[in-house]
Chains A and B, each alone.
Chain A
């Protein structure tokens, strides 16, 4: 946790040291030109990284800012994926319009979970269990939902497109790369604006001490509901992207708890509640997995499960050495005086 940057007025970069702005600009420029330098395989890896950076940021709104632990974010991504894909395959409705339909559905399902939990005092790990339960309901429900082909899976038509069709999200890796890059940048901006706003302060107060927050006049129910709904709505876009990038959806996969865990590992490794942590975490995690892959191949190691064990050990070491995540430590090392949280 860190000290907030000094006064933030209208401009986004207000109160952010030049050095930080410069570093962000360099990173952004590098990401902008990356697909023209690296090969298609690496572009796919970068897409995965940005996807996890995006979902990590969405989850961070709820847990990192408002202190509400969700272990069922696969639900919101899954709803986004299924709604957009079904509208596209059945009615030829473009995914962007599908997203507009999916967003309120995801927010509403977040609101239902939030209402049940916050109204009846379900908190902490019990709240987390409730979020898992709803994701499981969805998994089992969609497994039997004929209109989206139940457990047999929903497939999007994959045709060879001569050119990229951004409106229908049909095209090559580069197009998808820029879509998810844009989404990640927008999510970053949204998070910064939220964190420096009135609602952001109220979320942090709730995260720190809910009873004290109430004593300071904050309607904690209402602000926790905002956190769940905004987080769910943002997450739903990740699902839309997932559906059109992978072109196939199975309830067993989309709503699986491992999808939810995937989303939260990045922020935890990078730094829960920080703005840049989820992005850094996504790079570190995917980078680590890919490095292990190539290292094992290079050394000719062919033990099943060895990669997963090494991966787990690495994560354990990071969490033990830097329990607050890598970003708070790294930002100090970079002399960024802990801004950007």
Chain B
């Protein structure tokens, strides 16, 4: 499979603190790639650099053969990388449908066509019946689904999900996992996710990368990574034995 996203020796410092230190990895097209690690490991910083929210201090980020490090978030999105936010931020005063139409208008001039596309996505994410509600009135689980729908509406080649499972109940997590798997399988959408919920990571990811103190300590197939002694020690702890049973 060809490489869709590659990071080469990417670093980010905040004053004295090295948040991301010399990280390199590749995400093949069609992959379900998970980034895990303890709090403060630099996951969100890494994610923000890929999404254009901050520029790396060093290294290169290449997407589909084109360097994207230092581009603005909107320019990154227009190139085919769409993101969700760790703390969800749908447009609260707009209806569910209008939220998704905004995304759909990125590559469409016509509002009616954008609405059609948005409605198809809302059906897919089980939000169609709520399309007339204001986004602010949705539950957290629905707002997370709405963010995914809005991101998908921009027709990305790579979907960046920042802790999309956090705060969801196990049944809701399973529903989200099923949705993402289906998207990946049917349309070949590549997904890069930052995740704390190991239940979701193990069920979803085809590859896992572990970040600790800003450096990559392991990368590979999920089953292999969770057995890695360094990973067990720094992040998973003894409970990983239970996770392997999932």
Interface residues of A (CB under 8 A from B): 1, 3-4, 7-9, 196-198, 201-202, 204-205, 207-209, 211-220
- Using Cβ atoms and an 8 Å threshold, which residues of chain A touch B227? none
Which residue of the partner chain A has the closest CB to B135? A208
* Pairwise interchain contact A202-B112, C-beta atoms closer than 8 A: no
Which residue of the partner chain A has the closest CB to B153? A216
Within 8 Å by CB of A215, from B83, B95, B98, B101, lies: B83
Within 8 Å by CB of A4, from B74, B95, B109, lies: B95
* Pairwise interchain contact B95-A217, C-beta atoms closer than 8 A: no
* Pairwise interchain contact A217-B78, C-beta atoms closer than 8 A: yes
A216 with B72, Cβ < 8 A, contacts A4-B95, A7-B112 known: no
A8-B108 Cα distance, complex, nearest whole Å: 15
Interface residues of B (CB under 8 A from A): 51, 72-75, 77-78, 82-83, 85, 89-95, 97-98, 101-103, 105-106, 108-112, 114-115, 132, 134, 150-151, 153-154
* Pairwise interchain contact A1-B85, C-beta atoms closer than 8 A: no
* Pairwise interchain contact B98-A212, C-beta atoms closer than 8 A: no
Within 8 Å by CB of A204, from B91, B150, B153, lies: B91
* Pairwise interchain contact B134-A216, C-beta atoms closer than 8 A: no
- Using Cβ atoms and an 8 Å threshold, which residues of chain B touch A196? 111
- Using Cβ atoms and an 8 Å threshold, which residues of chain A touch B109? 198
A178-B149 Cα distance, complex, nearest whole Å: 48
A204-B99 Cα distance, complex, nearest whole Å: 10
* Pairwise interchain contact A1-B105, C-beta atoms closer than 8 A: no
- Using Cβ atoms and an 8 Å threshold, which residues of chain B touch A197? 111
A101-B115 Cα distance, complex, nearest whole Å: 39
* Pairwise interchain contact A216-B111, C-beta atoms closer than 8 A: no
A3-B219 Cα distance, complex, nearest whole Å: 46
- Using Cβ atoms and an 8 Å threshold, which residues of chain A touch B85? 212, 215
* Pairwise interchain contact A212-B89, C-beta atoms closer than 8 A: yes
Which residue of the partner chain B has the closest CB to A14? B112
* Pairwise interchain contact A216-B93, C-beta atoms closer than 8 A: no
A96-B47 Cα distance, complex, nearest whole Å: 54
A204-B115 Cα distance, complex, nearest whole Å: 16
Give the distance to chain A from B141, nearest Cβ to Cβ, in Å: 18
A220-B153 Cα distance, complex, nearest whole Å: 18
- Using Cβ atoms and an 8 Å threshold, which residues of chain A touch B110? 198
* Pairwise interchain contact A216-B98, C-beta atoms closer than 8 A: no
